[in-house]
């Protein structure tokens, strides 16, 4: 029997007693469309339910079925939930990639594999666990057409047994995943998990170091994808008009949003919707509808990714110049062009900050977590309506499409801020208004909504030159006054956008700056730099553009400041160059990663250590 070979083979590294507990990564290599997502989610959830901090990263191809896909689960007793570069525990289910996957492992890693792949012949410094999946799946799944899907649940059982994952937690996670309506399917899959577990218990001898132990670090937390968090933010921001065009990786924002809106925003008395979701013909139309709806007074948003942002450039300029609110979510993926549509990047920062022709500047918010996806969507709507301008929210594929362990979301404490809108009563009192006059000194004029029943309510909105009264004008002074007011308005935003997170280490001469999902790698890297190189660092995580005064203060108090970018050209750093003083710019160093995978701490640590001369 093959398993005897496993335990007795002299090529296996000897069994070790130095356990590694709750600190490893599991990678499952399968084929796209084989239903492995459920098996992986169950595994991740079971760890979460055992109180162990976890993260899951789905590395998938731009394809519906047939191409290789990898899912990585990281368990970290330290609470690190960024990507871990090294794989400690591989589940090799895909014949196409198995050999290469095994070759990439560090010595001492464990490999669960489909027995016929004979991976134990590839290397001798790994712990191999062959499993006859086809033989095991038959008895638990009599229906042949389901076997391809159920087969994957077997590795869940094997992994649970080898790592010591509580089977009751596996069971809870599995039944939660299927839900009460699919109890029969859940039972079928549960039998497969058990079959895997029983096989491993009876036939495999554990020789690797990795194992789990119950902790209490996930109590009260939730698991959610960033895209669903953005959707919830929209619901609680009171969004009323949504227009979109499907594009990976943003489509699930609107799909989740539609589900939540149907559940929570149907008027109970009338059965009618307090929202409209419109699938547009393209991104030109989706942003056009958002601009039109916002102009008419709705809270309107769209979600897209890089190629959609490119198409929205012209309307964004109109929104900026005619001063119409809009909320645009960009779940960034790898560009340029079609690029790597299922890989992650923060590569649209520079182009979006000044999107469209002429002089334009647009605020961008950078959520880094599901909680911030939620709270920043609410901020985005308030900012867009207050400042009467398009506001961008920049997530990325890593945040948007992966499951994250998160604190629960806080219910908004502030009422919805609809900005400076005059009603018919206001017009009676004022006797009229000048649409583009800076009455309050913050550059923001008062607007009226179409349909306001007042003879003095109307004004004419145009993307062509206009004066304070919204009249057509090609005059030099009108144009310049308008542009200066718009610039002033942008300055006024600095005190209204979310301020950065700052952690100053009084001993540090070195600072690190990043935005969005880079935080996970950077926060872990700070510990690595401290523990491995004795380098103390301060840290600033940007939450918004325009930058706030904290940025300059942070740079000034450090000798060298590393700006971490997930793009080739150091876009975040380049954007700072446009705004900062030369002596501040001189302190900036660039750390860049642009391979399309979520940024990992090792990459950041290695780059900073090298530049620091270690």
Closest listed residue to residue 34, CA positions, set 135, 155, 128? 155
Nearest CB to other proteins, comparing residues 321 and 545: 321
d(CA 284, CA 302): 11
- Binding to other proteins by residue 274, rule CB under 8 A? yes
- Binding to other proteins by residue 138, rule CB under 8 A? no
By CB under 8 A, name the one of 52, 241, 334, 493 that touches other proteins.
241
Contact 302, 287 (CB under 8 A): yes
**Minimum distance, C-beta of residue 279 to other proteins, in the bound complex (Å):** 10
Residues 308-347 that bind other proteins (CB under 8 A): 314-315, 318
- Binding to other proteins by residue 551, rule CB under 8 A? no
Nearest CB to other proteins, comparing residues 288 and 511: 288
Cα angle, residue 525 at apex, residues 504 and 212 outer, rounded to 5°:
120
Structure tokens at 418: 């609809």
Piece of 208-216, 338-346, 458-466, 499-507 that binds other proteins (CB under 8 A):
458-466
Closest listed residue to residue 178, CA positions, set 41, 376, 328? 41
Residues 6+ apart with CB under 8 A from 277: 242, 243, 244, 254, 257, 258, 261
Nearest CB to other proteins, comparing residues 321 and 539: 321
Question: How many chain residues are in contact with other proteins, going by CB under 8 A?
Answer: 72
| Token pair 């014949």: residue | 95
By CB under 8 A, name the one of 34, 99, 461, 590 that touches other proteins.
461
Piece of 134-142, 343-351, 391-399, 452-460 that binds other proteins (CB under 8 A):
452-460
- Binding to other proteins by residue 174, rule CB under 8 A? no
By CB under 8 A, name the one of 145, 181, 184, 272 that touches other proteins.
272
- Binding to other proteins by residue 180, rule CB under 8 A? no
Residues 14-73 that bind other proteins (CB under 8 A): none
Closest listed residue to residue 368, CA positions, set 517, 497, 222, 500? 517
**Minimum distance, C-beta of residue 66 to other proteins, in the bound complex (Å):** 32
Closest listed residue to residue 350, CA positions, set 318, 292, 310? 310
- Binding to other proteins by residue 292, rule CB under 8 A? yes
- Binding to other proteins by residue 301, rule CB under 8 A? no
- Binding to other proteins by residue 259, rule CB under 8 A? no
By CB under 8 A, name the one of 184, 429, 453, 507 that touches other proteins.
453
- Binding to other proteins by residue 593, rule CB under 8 A? no
Half-sphere exposure of 108 (CA within 13 A, CB side): 12
> Which residues sit opposite 327 in a β-bridge?
301, 391
DSSP-based three-state secondary structure for 565: strand
DSSP string, 150-199: HHHHHHHHHHHHHHT--HHHHHHHHHHHH-GGGHHHHHHHHHHHHHHHHH
By CB under 8 A, name the one of 107, 142, 180, 220 that touches other proteins.
220
Structure tokens at 302: 């769209």
Nearest CB to other proteins, comparing residues 146 and 434: 434
Backbone angles phi, psi at 601, to 5 degrees: -65, -40
- Binding to other proteins by residue 240, rule CB under 8 A? yes
**Minimum distance, C-beta of residue 495 to other proteins, in the bound complex (Å):** 25
Closest listed residue to residue 372, CA positions, set 172, 519, 588? 519
| Token pair 């942002």: residue | 309
Piece of 11-19, 140-148, 266-274, 589-597 that binds other proteins (CB under 8 A):
266-274
- Binding to other proteins by residue 107, rule CB under 8 A? no
Piece of 386-394, 412-420, 544-552, 606-614 that binds other proteins (CB under 8 A):
412-420
By CB under 8 A, name the one of 224, 522, 564, 575 that touches other proteins.
224
Nearest CB to other proteins, comparing residues 167 and 222: 222
Rounded (10°) CA dihedral 569, 572, 576, 582:
-40
By CB under 8 A, name the one of 98, 186, 239, 257 that touches other proteins.
239
DSSP-based three-state secondary structure for 85: coil
d(CA 177, CA 186): 8
DSSP string, 479-499: HHHHHHHHHHHHHHHTTTSPP
- Binding to other proteins by residue 221, rule CB under 8 A? yes
By CB under 8 A, name the one of 35, 108, 463, 596 that touches other proteins.
463
Contact 566, 518 (CB under 8 A): yes
**Minimum distance, C-beta of residue 302 to other proteins, in the bound complex (Å):** 10
Piece of 139-147, 157-165, 455-463, 595-603 that binds other proteins (CB under 8 A):
455-463
- Binding to other proteins by residue 273, rule CB under 8 A? yes
């Amino acid at each position: 029997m093959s398993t005897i070979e496993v335990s007795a083979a002299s090529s296996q590294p000897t069994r070790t007693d130095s356990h590694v507990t709750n600190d490893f990564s599991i990678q499952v290599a399968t084929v796209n469309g084989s239903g492995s997502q459920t098996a992986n989610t169950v595994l991740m959830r079971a760890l979460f339910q055992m109180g162990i901090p976890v993260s899951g990263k789905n590395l998938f191809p731009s394809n519906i079925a047939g191409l290789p896909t990898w899912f990585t689960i990281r368990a970290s007793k330290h609470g690190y939930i960024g990507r871990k570069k090294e794989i400690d525990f591989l589940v090799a289910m895909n014949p196409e990639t198995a050999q290469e996957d095994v070759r990439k492992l560090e010595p001492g890693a464990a490999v669960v594999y489909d027995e016929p792949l004979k991976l134990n012949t590839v290397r001798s410094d790994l712990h191999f666990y062959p499993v006859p999946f086809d033989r095991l799946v038959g008895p638990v799944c009599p229906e042949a057409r389901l076997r391809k899907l159920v087969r994957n649940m077997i590795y869940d059982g094997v992994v649970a047994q080898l790592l010591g994952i509580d089977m009751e937690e596996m069971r809870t996670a599995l039944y939660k995943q299927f839900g009460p309506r699919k109890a029969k399917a859940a039972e079928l899959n549960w039998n497969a998990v058990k079959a895997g577990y029983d096989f491993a218990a009876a036939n495999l001898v554990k020789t690797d170091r990795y194992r789990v132990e119950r902790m209490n670090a996930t109590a009260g937390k939730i698991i959610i994808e960033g895209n669903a968090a953005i959707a919830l933010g929209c619901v609680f921001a009171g969004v009323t008009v949504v227009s979109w065009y499907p594009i990976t990786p943003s489509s699930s924002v609107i799909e989740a949003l539609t589900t939540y809106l149907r559940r929570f925003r149907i008027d109970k008395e009338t059965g009618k919707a307090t929202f409209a979701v419109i699938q547009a013909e393209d991104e030109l139309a989706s942003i056009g509808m958002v601009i039109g709806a916002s102009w008419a007074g709705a809270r309107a948003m769209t979600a897209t990714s890089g190629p959609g942002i490119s198409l929205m450039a012209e309307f964004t300029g109109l929104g900026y110049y005619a001063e119409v609110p809009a909320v645009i979510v960009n779940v960034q993926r790898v560009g340029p062009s079609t690029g790597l549509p299922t890989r992650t990047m923060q590569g649209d920062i520079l182009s979006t900050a000044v999107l469209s022709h002429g002089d334009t500047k647009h605020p961008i918010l950078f959520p880094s977590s599901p909680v911030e996806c939620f709270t920043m969507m609410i901020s985005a709507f308030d900012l867009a309506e207050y400042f009467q301008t398009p506001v961008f929210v920049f997530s990325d594929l890593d945040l948007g499409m992966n499951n994250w362990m998160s604190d629960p979301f806080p219910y908004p404490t502030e009422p919805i801020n609809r900005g400076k809108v005059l009603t018919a009563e206001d017009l009676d009192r004022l006797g009229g208004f000048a649409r583009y006059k800076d009455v309050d000194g913050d550059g923001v004029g008062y607007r009226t909504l179409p349909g306001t029943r007042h003879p003095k309510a109307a004004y004419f909105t145009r993307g062509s030159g206009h004066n304070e009264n919204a009249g057509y004008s090609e005059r030099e002074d009108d144009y310049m006054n308008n542009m200066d007011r718009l610039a002033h308005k942008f300055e006024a935003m600095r005190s209204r956008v979310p301020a950065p997170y700052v952690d100053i280490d009084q001993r540090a001469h070195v600072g690190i700056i990043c935005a969005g999902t880079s935080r996970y790698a950077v926060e872990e890297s700070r510990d690595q730099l401290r523990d491995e190189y004795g380098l103390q660092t301060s840290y600033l995580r940007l939450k918004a553009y325009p930058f706030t005064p904290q940025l300059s203060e942070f740079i000034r108090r450090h000798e060298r400041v590393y700006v971490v970018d997930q793009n080739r050209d150091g876009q975040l750093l380049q954007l700072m160059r446009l705004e900062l003083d030369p002596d501040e710019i001189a302190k900036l160093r660039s750390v860049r990663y642009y391979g399309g995978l979520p940024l990992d701490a090792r990459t950041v640590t290695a780059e900073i250590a090298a530049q620091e001369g270690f």
